[in-house]
């Protein structure tokens, strides 16, 4: 098999197609939700909606176990919160501040930015991969999460896990020749991009709706969200 050609395909036309599906699909979902109709909230406010929204985003980030209002939630969902937190932190740090990723962004955007040293990125990647494994085990072991999970949840996990695993293997030249594993990494990213609009991984878009609504509704009542 000609892996150089595969790589060219994965980075070229297939990536463009994947990006097209990703952007087009998410735009479609966004437009569909936006055009469903938004009735005006005619209830007179007792507090500040804007203030509630600001607090809502702030509190959304403060999910550390020692925070008083998180404690109880944390006790019952330690794996979800710890592993979920590590996974998200690792994921965003790597795709933004990992040197090879920054270069990929640079080639698309035309400008770059400082990156994190490889050892840090490497540990974050290992931690994020371990966190994903923990999340998968938890999803199967916990009766409620098992109830909430179907093929879609399994595919979500798989299509995010593969780019991470192959990325890690690419950096460490594990098992495969470099151009092979690098091609697999890019292919996995392409597949993930295509899958996102069909899945709940798209929560990164709708997060901004629900957090805003939450904050506004509590702010309106002069209650801390």
Partner 1 sequence: MKTTRAIDTFVEETGGWVASQLEACTRCGICAEACHFYQATGNPDFAPVWKVELLKRAYEQEFTLGGKLRTMLHLQKKVDEADLEAWSKLVYEACTVCNKCAMVCPMGIQLGPIIHDVRAGLAEAGMVPDDLAAAVNKQIEEGSPLGVTDDVFESRLEWIADDWEIDLPVDKEGADTLVIFSSIEIMKFPDNLAHIASILNAAGENWTLSSKAREVVNFGFYEGSADHTRLLLSRVFDGAVELGVKKIVVTECGHAYDALRWTAPNLMDVPDIEITHIAAVLGEYVESGRITLKAGAYDGDGKITFHDACKIQRRGGHIEEPRKLLSILAPESFTEMTPNREQAICCGGGGGVIAIKEADPIRYKAFELKIAQAEAVGAETVVMACSNCRLQFLDGAEHFDWDMKFRGLAEMVAEAME
Instruction: Enumerate binding residues for partner 1 (CB under 8 A).
Output: 29, 32-39, 41-44, 46-47, 56, 60, 63, 68-69, 72-73, 75-77, 80-81, 84, 142-145, 147-149, 151, 153, 198, 200, 202-203, 205-207, 209-211, 213-215, 217-218, 221-225
Which residue, 78 or 96, is less far from partner 1 as judged by CB? 78
Contact 145, 139 (CB under 8 A): yes
Which residue, 142 or 171, is less far from partner 1 as judged by CB? 142
Q: What does the block give as tokens for 207?
A: 């997060």
Provide the minimum distance between the beta carbon of 58 and partner 1 in the complex, in angstroms, as a whole number: 12
Compute the distance between CA of residue 78 and CA of residue 91 in angstroms, rounded to an integer.
Answer: 19
SS3 state at 77: coil
Provide the minimum distance between the beta carbon of 183 and partner 1 in the complex, in angstroms, as a whole number: 29
Provide the minimum distance between the beta carbon of 192 and partner 1 in the complex, in angstroms, as a whole number: 16
H helix intervals, the chain? 3-11, 13-34, 49-61, 68-76, 78-97, 99-109, 118-141, 143-148, 151-172, 178-195, 203-220
Which residue, 52 or 163, is less far from partner 1 as judged by CB? 52
Compute the distance between CA of residue 101 and CA of residue 115 in angstroms, rounded to an integer.
Answer: 9
Which residue, 172 or 203, is less far from partner 1 as judged by CB? 203
H helix intervals, 142-202? 143-148, 151-172, 178-195
Provide the minimum distance between the beta carbon of 10 and partner 1 in the complex, in angstroms, as a whole number: 26
**Residue 95: how many CB atoms within 10 A of its CB?**
16
Contact 52, 212 (CB under 8 A): no
Which residue, 33 or 109, is less far from partner 1 as judged by CB? 33
Which residue, 103 or 222, is less far from partner 1 as judged by CB? 222
Max intra-chain CA distance, the chain: 68
Provide the minimum distance between the beta carbon of 15 and partner 1 in the complex, in angstroms, as a whole number: 24
Provide the minimum distance between the beta carbon of 45 and partner 1 in the complex, in angstroms, as a whole number: 10
Contact 159, 192 (CB under 8 A): yes
């Amino acid at each position: 098999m000609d892996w150089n050609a595969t790589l060219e395909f994965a980075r070229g036309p297939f990536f463009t197609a994947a990006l097209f599906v990703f952007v087009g699909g998410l735009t479609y979902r966004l437009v569909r939700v936006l055009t469903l109709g938004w009735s005006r909230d005619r209830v007179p406010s007792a507090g500040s909606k804007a203030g509630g929204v600001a607090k809502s985003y702030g509190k959304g980030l403060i999910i550390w176990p020692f925070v008083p209002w998180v404690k109880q939630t944390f006790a019952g969902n330690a794996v979800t919160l710890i592993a979920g937190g590590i996974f998200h932190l690792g994921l965003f740090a790597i795709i933004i501040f990992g040197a090879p990723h920054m270069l990929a962004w640079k080639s698309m955007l035309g400008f770059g930015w400082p990156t994190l040293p490889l050892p840090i990125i490497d540990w974050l990647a290992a931690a994020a991969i371990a966190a994903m494994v923990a999340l998968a085990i938890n999803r199967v072991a916990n009766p409620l999460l098992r109830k909430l999970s179907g093929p879609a949840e399994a595919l979500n996990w798989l299509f995010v896990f593969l780019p991470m695993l192959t990325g890690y293997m690419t950096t460490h030249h594990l098992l495969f020749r470099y151009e092979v594993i690098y091609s697999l990494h890019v292919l996995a990213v392409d597949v993930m991009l295509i899958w996102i609009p069909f899945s709940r991984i798209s929560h990164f878009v709708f997060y901004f709706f629900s957090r805003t609504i939450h904050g506004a509704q509590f702010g309106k009542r002069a209650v801390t969200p």
